[in-house]
Amino acid sequence: MAGLGTSDLLARLWEKQVPYIVADSNEVIVSQRFYPELRVAFDLTEPQPLAWAFPKGRDDSLMLAADAFFQRIHENGQLQQLRERYYGHVREFDYVGVRRFMRHIEQRLPKYETIFRQAASEHSHDWRLLAAIGYQESHWDPQAVSPTGVRGIMMLTDRTASELGVADRLDPIASIGGGSAYLRYILQRLPVHIENPDRTWLALAAYNIGYGHLQDARILTRKRGGNPDRWMDVKESLPLLAEEQWYKDTRYGYARGVEAVQYVQHIRSYYDMLVWQTKPDAKPITVASSTATQNLAALSAPVL
């Protein structure tokens, strides 16, 4: 097993080629969605900080440069932004939800994958992001209808569908095409200087809560000393749109901002799993019933 990385070891464990492995908890957090049946056995150590080591010698210029670098990205928020980008949406592992999603990838997605690909191509999206939105909205159910009247795979409102020229929201081709066009419209409305991935996460929030409410949240973010162009700052302000002391002074008023934050986090996770599933060397997951735990450290093979 010498020379194998954690992802390779996890794959071998999943395939029962090895009985157990030891892995860093941060890598387990990211990978557990891809191997939902793996069980964490126990913690080997107490939590420990990650650190960089340098060879001991007279010249400590490299170490001093590294110290200065980490101090700088800590102070300017870049380090926190990196943590948000790679770990902000994977902390809460929903075992049942992951199993359901994997099952729907196998049973439902093949019916609509070509439509997602075509619509994404027309509006310059990654088709897997579009599919992740569709799953969050309706679990890829073309007949889905919410109590508030939104319908179809992409859950378009009647007004949005009308503006986009979508005559039948329950038609998968029309719904997915309309959702793709709507996402492109939101992305084009955002200030041009906002870069990805923040641009995409902000657009997803607007898809859920409305562009006006997103702008209110961005204004609140600026007032609170945050960066309105960074998702990690705006997501702290979105829940305030449900509190009167904050929303009373906004242009568009009350909104369920917590739901928008959860919406974006779920789509990010679904997108990650779809990217992993569509890798050329990815192996399809066969889901079986078992109980998962979240103690992070030594992992044992699944009982299938």
User: Which residues does the annotation mark as catalytic?
Assistant: 137
Q: Which residues contact 286 (CB under 8 A, 6 or more apart)?
A: 304
In angstroms, the CA 256 to CA 243 distance is: 9
Region for 182 from its dihedrals, namely left if φ exceeds 0, alpha if ψ lies in -120 to 50, beta otherwise: alpha
In angstroms, the CA 36 to CA 288 distance is: 9
Q: Which secondary structure element, helix H or strand E, spans residue 101, and what is its range?
A: helix 95-107
Cross-strand bridge partners of residue 299: 21, 40
* Sign of the CA dihedral running 119, 88, 257, 140: positive
Q: In 3D, which of 113, 101, 81 has the Cα closest to residue 230? A: 81
Q: Cite the beta strand spans of the chain per DSSP E.
A: 20-22, 39-42, 298-300
Cross-strand bridge partners of residue 39: 300
In angstroms, the CA 159 to CA 177 distance is: 16
| Contacts of the segment 176-180: beta carbons below 8 A, 24+ positions apart | 176/112, 176/115, 176/116, 176/119, 176/130, 176/134, 177/115, 177/119, 177/122, 178/154, 179/119, 179/130, 179/133, 179/134, 179/137, 179/153, 179/154, 180/119, 180/120, 180/122, 180/123, 180/125, 180/130
